[in-house]
Amino acid sequence: MKKTAKPRLIQSVDRALNILEVLADRDESVGLTELARMMGLDSSTVYRLLSTLRVHGYAAQDHRDRKYHLGPKAIELGQKALQKFTLRSKGAPFVRELAAKTGEAAHLVSLVGGQAIYVDNRAGAGLLTVSAQIGGVALPYCTATGKAVAANLSEAELERLLASTELRKLTENTITDLGVLRSHFQEVRDQGYAVDDEEYHLGIRCLAAPVLDHSGAVVGSIGISASISSLTADKVEQYKSIVMGTARELSRSMGCVQGAG
């Protein structure tokens, strides 16, 4: 059996990309010393890498505290990457339609590199609306959009996803037992939609359905989020057909000939 040769990495490029990932994952700016510690590198090396990234606009420095964050070029690059996704371009009108029909915040998730990524959203009509960060991950075990995708993956894809996912107890309703979660995914597949019942955030309930492509494979999901006082259990029953119907129409626009939901 022939062994696959490991790719030869360019060390400086690899380190610069790791810096960008750290900056992207941080909610706040990070100082040079802390960044060097996180990278396991000396400060002078990290400083040179950051200087290069700054010149090209991929990193920026706050002149008040000298800390670093993502630069405008990184944001621009991310937005351009999102625009390349067919699901995002095709899904935008469906997100608007879903928000208009339900009056709740609507979200679109795309399956990218084995993860469910938020690529579009639309605010609800109420005073209190729930938003999702574009480019953020819809966790596969505790968000409706994430569960709608995960439940419809192939067995091999699901196992890879679960193996790389830490099941953290975010609320008292979060499912962290693998056996229970697998049974829950089967239920989601059977009924055609997923519900997040305060599993990610207390006080927030979400409803989502999978989006399929021309081959019948799941490529994302579309759904709504709201406070539990707005999206009551009765509203879930009322809106589930709307959400599934929207997912089905979006799937058809993606070339799917079978029903989604």
What are the pLDDT digits (tens) for 190-248? 999 999 999 999 999 999 999 998 889 999 999 999 999 999 999 999 999 999 999 99
Please tell me which residue, 223 or 113, carries the higher pLDDT value. 223
Q: Is residue 64 part of a domain?
A: yes
Q: Are residues 200 and 118 in the same domain?
A: yes
What are the pLDDT digits (tens) for 131-164? 677 888 899 999 999 999 999 999 999 999 999 8
Instruction: Enumerate the β-bridge partners of residue 197.
Output: 205
| Residue 139 · residue 261 · CB < 8 Å | no
Of 3-7, 30-34, 169-173, 225-229, where does mean pLDDT reach its minimum?
3-7
Name the H helices within the chain: 11-25, 32-39, 43-55, 72-84, 86-102, 144-150, 155-163, 178-191, 233-253
The domain containing residue 248 runs over which residues? 85-253
> In this structure, which amino acid lies at residue 169?
K
d(CA 105, CA 64): 36
d(CA 146, CA 118): 9
The total of structural domains in the chain comes to 2
Q: Are residues 48 and 166 in the same domain?
A: no
126 pLDDT more than 70: no
Q: What is the CATH classification number for the domain harbouring 33?
A: 1.10.10.10
Q: Are residues 188 and 149 in the same domain?
A: yes
40 pLDDT more than 80: yes
| Residue 149 · residue 141 · CB < 8 Å | no
Q: Are residues 52 and 91 in the same domain?
A: no
The whole-number average pLDDT for the span 90-119 is 92
| Residue 149 · residue 118 · CB < 8 Å | no
Q: Are residues 106 and 71 in the same domain?
A: no
By C-alpha distance, which of 230, 224, 244, 243 is closest to 120? 224
Q: Are residues 69 and 161 in the same domain?
A: no
Q: Are residues 226 and 102 in the same domain?
A: yes
Distances (CA, A) of 5 to 2, 8, 14, 33: 9, 9, 18, 35
Tally Cβ neighbours within 10 Å of residue 21.
10
Q: Place 89 in a pLDDT band, splitting at 50, 70 and 90.
A: confident
pTM of the model: 0.69
Q: Is residue 261 part of a domain?
A: no
Q: Are residues 29 and 126 in the same domain?
A: no
Q: Place 171 in a pLDDT band, splitting at 50, 70 and 90.
A: very high
Q: Are residues 228 and 136 in the same domain?
A: yes
- Report percent pLDDT > 90 for the chain: 72
